[in-house]
């Protein structure tokens, strides 16, 4: 017998979603988090967008889980009164060449199963957003933004109510395969250590997920994560009042991001970003480069003509754990039960960047299917 049945490493939104789902089905669930609170890294440093699933390769996990996850997330928010705003998203064109790209985006979206998008012309754009410049746009009305903290708090509460034991301030330092499962060694912030055994182990460690995989004994090059910083600037001087929806430029080919776009949070604050800056040696660098302010301004002034440089103020920085370095092609999520590698009952989740927030509930359901719960 093991000390616990299922252990989850990482209390970001994905780890919390898995804990809430699995603890409704079985007892003896353990959730470990090295930080002192949930969601202290990627889950709390993002745009909080509920994505539609339009850009991801057809039949990829990102596409499938995003589309499923969006519907699950809106229903979950309605059930538990978690704040969100289904404000809609505009992807805009500023040239004839970009007009044709919008048609391709809409077709791509339809092929992925996103059926609510439509092309709108300048007159309708101005009815929705009278202060932007655009020739045409694809409008996706069910894209929205969510209060991610309230979501994670609800998932944490649900997990605890179901009997999950959550241990904060505890970092996994060693994982050993044993006959009945895994022996986990944990270092607490006080400096003390403890070990316990678990039948199943789920690696939802976010930025640290590839290191956890290596501790287990699976150290593959294709599992290596690369850190990409995303900086945000917010709008000051009352300019946030001039935008009420998400506004995106046409994305660059094979991009590591979606271009500098506008996001409106639930308080009405408007953020510009994120960009995508590769971080050498996977440093957790949460600083904003002051010189990037001009790049942001030049990038968005073509469609936000009311902006002046002094309207941009530094906001937040997030880090994406991508499976690609500069020059690599776009990679899908890795969500894999590792029996074939000799580690039955161990599930790896790597490269869980956007749309991880949107897909958190569908990711949790996918993991349960892998473990046959």
| Residue ranges, the chain, pLDDT below 70 | 252-258
CA 350 to each of CA 24, 35, 172, 173, 216: distance values in angstroms, whole numbers, following the listed order: 24, 19, 17, 18, 14
C-alpha pair distances (Å), 34 with each of 64, 91, 361: 30, 38, 22
Angstrom distance (rounded) from CA 313 to CA 17? 33
The predicted structure's pLDDT at residue 265 = 94
Q: What is the pLDDT of residue 210?
A: 98
Tell me, letter by letter, the H, E, C secondary structure of 133-178: CCCEEEEECCCEEECHHHHHHHHHHHHHHCCCEEEECEEEEEEEEE
The CATH code for residues 4-46+149-224+330-370 is 3.50.50.60
Model pLDDT, residue 134: 97
Considering the segment(s) 86-142+225-322 as one domain, its CATH architecture is: 2-Layer Sandwich (3.30)
User: Hey, is 109 helix, strand or coil?
Assistant: helix
Q: Tokens at residue 146, please?
A: 């969510």
Instruction: CATH 3.50.50.60 in the chain: give the residue spans.
Output: 4-46+149-224+330-370
């Amino acid at each position: 017998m093991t000390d616990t049945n299922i252990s989850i490493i990482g209390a970001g939104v994905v780890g919390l979603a898995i804990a809430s789902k699995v603890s409704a089905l079985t007892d003896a669930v353990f959730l470990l988090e090295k930080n002192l609170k949930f969601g202290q890294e990627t889950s709390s440093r993002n745009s909080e967008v509920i994505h539609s699933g339009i850009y991801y390769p057809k039949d990829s996990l990102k596409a499938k889980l995003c589309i499923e996850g969006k519907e699950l997330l809106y229903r979950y928010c309605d059930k538990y009164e978690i704040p969100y705003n289904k404000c809609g998203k505009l992807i805009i064109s500023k040239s004839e060449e970009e007009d044709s790209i919008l048609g391709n985006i809409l077709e791509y979206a339809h092929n992925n199963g996103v059926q609510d998008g439509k092309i709108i012309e300048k007159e309708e754009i101005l009815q929705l957003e009278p202060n932007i410049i655009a020739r045409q746009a694809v409008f996706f009305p069910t894209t929205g933004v969510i209060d991610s903290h309230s979501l994670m708090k609800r998932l944490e509460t649900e997990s605890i109510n179901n009997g999950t034991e959550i241990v904060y301030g505890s970092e996994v330092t060693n994982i050993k395969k044993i006959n009945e499962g895994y022996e986990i060694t944990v270092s607490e912030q006080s400096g003390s250590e403890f070990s316990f055994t678990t039948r199943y182990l789920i690696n939802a460690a976010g930025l640290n997920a590839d290191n956890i995989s290596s501790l287990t004994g699976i150290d593959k090059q294709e599992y290596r994560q690369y850190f990409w910083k995303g900086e945000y600037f917010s709008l000051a001087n009352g300019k946030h009042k001039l935008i009420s929806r998400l506004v995106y430029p046409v994305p660059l080919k094979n991009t590591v991001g979606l271009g500098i776009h506008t996001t409106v949070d639930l308080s009405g604050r408007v953020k510009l970003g994120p960009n995508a800056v590769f971080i050498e040696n996977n440093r957790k660098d949460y600083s904003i480069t002051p010189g990037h302010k001009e790049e942001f301004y030049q990038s968005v002034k073509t469609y936000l003509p009311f902006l002046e440089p002094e309207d941009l103020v530094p906001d937040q920085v997030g880090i994406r754990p991508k499976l690609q370095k500069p020059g690599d092609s776009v990679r899908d999520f890795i969500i894999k039960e590792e029996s074939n590698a000799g580690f039955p009952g161990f599930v790896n989740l790597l490269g869980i960047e956007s749309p991880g927030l949107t897909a958190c509930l569908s990711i949790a359901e996918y993991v349960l299917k892998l473990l046959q719960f």
